[in-house]
Amino acid sequence: MNDTITLALSKGRIFEETLPLLAAAGIEVGEDPEKSRKLILPTNRPDVRVVLVRATDVPTYVQYGGADLGVAGLDVLLEHAGGESATGLYQPLDLRIACCRMSVAARNDFDYAAAVQQGSRIRVATKYTHIARQHFADKGVHVDLIKLYGSMELAPLTGLADAIVDLVSTGSTLRANHLVEVEQIMPISSRLVVNQAALKLKRAALRPLIDAFAGAIPA
Ligand code: ATP
Ligand code: MG
């Protein structure tokens, strides 16, 4: 087990967009996670395997050594650390995959700028409470944060909240729900995360992998 390299990925866009980076390192995953029910996928390299975990669990697996390395969105990493930098977790590469942005969106009949200007308390629903709290604190905007676990777009439509903080890529989900992006908080992409102890103990195997990923990052 000690010679095996375990890579934690989440199904969907992160898995799909990591495949070309793996290919650049000479690694091919044997099975399609959408078709298989396996949670551990072998690769063409007997010493490399992929474990499939929830996107939000990738930092946890890597931090505690359940995986040697993994790929996670900056959103997930910031929420995982709760504003701190997680101990035992290196973030050596911005892989520039799964790109989107973290934004504030509101119902198109809610005057966000006026609410901010007047110093009103704004009710904001989000899954990303750490990022949201930090953003509004930096701006000096008073907010009541409401934690949700999904379908944030519904919150302003039902009167649960005035605004949301969520990931946006094309904006079509917002438009379909009569929401407008009123503020961009930060660009988001996925990062390679590496277990600090593993990098020491398995350096000879991990270093060439990390270098191959670095050389294959999209422009
Ligand atoms: P699930 O959708 O299964 O509940 P999830 O939302 O955590 O899980 P994904 O939707 O695959 O997982 O998102 C994984 C990562 O991809 C996010 O953490 C984020 O960094 C990025 N991402 C999310 N939505 C988009 C998007 N619309 N476009 C590009 N990247 C995105
Ligand atoms: Mg999702």
pLDDT in tens, 160-197: 999 999 999 999 999 999 999 999 999 999 999 999 99
Residue 30 confidence (pLDDT): 87
Within 10 Å of residue 195's Cβ, how many Cβ atoms?
25
Query: 57: CA distance to ligand 2 center in Å?
Result: 14
ipTM over 0.85: yes
HEC per residue, the chain: CCCCEEEEECCCHHHHHHHHHHHHCCCCECCCCCCCCCCEEEECCCCEEEEECCHHHHHHHHHCCCCCEEEEEHHHHHHHHCCCCCCCEEEEEECCCCCEEEEEEEECCCCHHHHHHCCCCEEEEECCHHHHHHHHHHHCCCEEEEECCCCCCHHHHHCCCCEEEEEECCCHHHHHCCEEEEEEEEEECEEEEEEHHHHHHCHHHHHHHHHHHHHCCCC
Ligand 1 contacts CB of residue 95 (under 6 A): no
**Residue 78 CB–ligand 1 contact under 6 Å:** no
Ligand nearest to the CA of 75: 1
190 Cα nearest atom in ligand 1: 20
Domain 5-98+189-216 coded CATH 3.40.190.10: yes
Q: Where are the chain's structural domains? A: 5-98+189-216, 100-187
Give bridge partners of residue 180 from the DSSP assignment.
106
Nearest residue (CA) to ligand 1, atom 22: 98
Q: What does the alpha-carbon distance between residue 13 and residue 62 come to, in Å, rounded to a whole number?
A: 19
Ligand 1 atom nearest 11 alpha carbon: 11
Residues of the chain with pLDDT under 70: 1-2, 83-85
Pocket test for ligand 1, best of 11, 13, 54 (most atoms within 8 A of CB): 13
Of all atoms in ligand 1, which is nearest to the CA of residue 12?
11
Minimum-distance ligand 1 atom for the alpha carbon of 76: 18
The rounded Å distance from CA 151 to ligand 2 centre is 9
pLDDT at 11 (0 to 100): 97
Please name every residue paired with 188 in a beta bridge, in sequence order, or none if there are none: 100
CA 182/CA 167 separation, integer angstroms: 13
CATH architecture classification, 100-187: 3-Layer(aba) Sandwich (3.40)
Dist. CA 152 → ligand 1 center (Å): 13
Judged on CB neighbours under 10 Å (0-12, 13-18, 19+), 177 is middle
Q: Is 188 in the pocket of ligand 1 (CB under 6 A)?
A: yes
Would you mind telling me the total number of residues written for the chain in this entry? 219
Residues 107/179, Cβ–Cβ less than 8 Å: yes
What atom of ligand 1 comes closest to residue 167's alpha carbon? Answer: 24
pTM of the model: 0.95
Q: Tell me if domain 5-98+189-216 and domain 100-187 are identical in fold.
A: yes
